[in-house]
Amino acid sequence: MPLSNIMRRSSYPLLCVASSLAASLLALPTNALDDDWQQPMTILSDSAELDRRAGTVIYEGNVTLTQGTLLIEADRLMVLRNGDVLEKAVAEGNPARYQQQIDTDESLTNAHGNRIDYYTGEQRITLRGDAELRQDGNLFSGEQITYDMKTETVKASGQSSNNSNTAVGEAQPDGRIKVIIQPPKPAEAP
């Protein structure tokens, strides 16, 4: 059998799973711009590995996922599925980055961490390791940050004070988190 036929047959399951994954992500509800979920998803990477039995696809090397205003950039992206339902995406990098416009009246939400766990059904992201979240001029930084897109809440935690491996730009040296909240904008005169 010619090599080209073998290549076509061996890549067919990967294409089916990738198409199924993209379709399942398109159907997810969220408070992000409704139009985002109607847009096609594009994943670019240097390589991809599919394990259909485990329900995982691993993308490695300069990974970029885009869909509408959603942008995730990472060194490695692992997508976990249960049948046709996307359960979780784990982005790892130095750092991995997340960006999305949650509402048309707000600026882009930007976040980064050494690891980003994106729980699609729960509409929540957890940033771990040198984590930072910026939204509308406000800043949260610490060892771990959880952002719930449904309730628009943020929970941040620092690292334990006995860890002396804190580098510049990570959680505060004493293990605490850092929050910067912008003052309200003055009301316009009538």
Domain spans of the chain?
3-163+175-180
Give me the mean pLDDT over the 140-164 stretch: 83
Q: For 3-17, 40-54, 162-176, which range has the lowest pLDDT when averaged over its residues?
A: 3-17
Closest by Cα among 143, 147, 133, 135 to 167: 143
DSSP single-letter state for residue 70: E
CA atoms within 13 A on the CB side of 7: 3
Q: How does pLDDT run across 26-83, given as a tens digit for each residue?
A: 333 334 566 776 677 788 999 999 999 999 999 999 999 988 898 999 999 999 988 8
Q: How does pLDDT run across 90-129, given as a tens digit for each residue?
A: 999 999 999 998 877 778 999 999 999 988 878 899 999 9
Q: Domain 3-163+175-180, what fold?
A: lipopolysaccharide transport protein A fold (2.60.450)
Predicted local confidence at residue 167, as pLDDT: 40
pTM, two decimals, is 0.72
Predicted local confidence at residue 173, as pLDDT: 66
> Three-state SS for 139?
strand
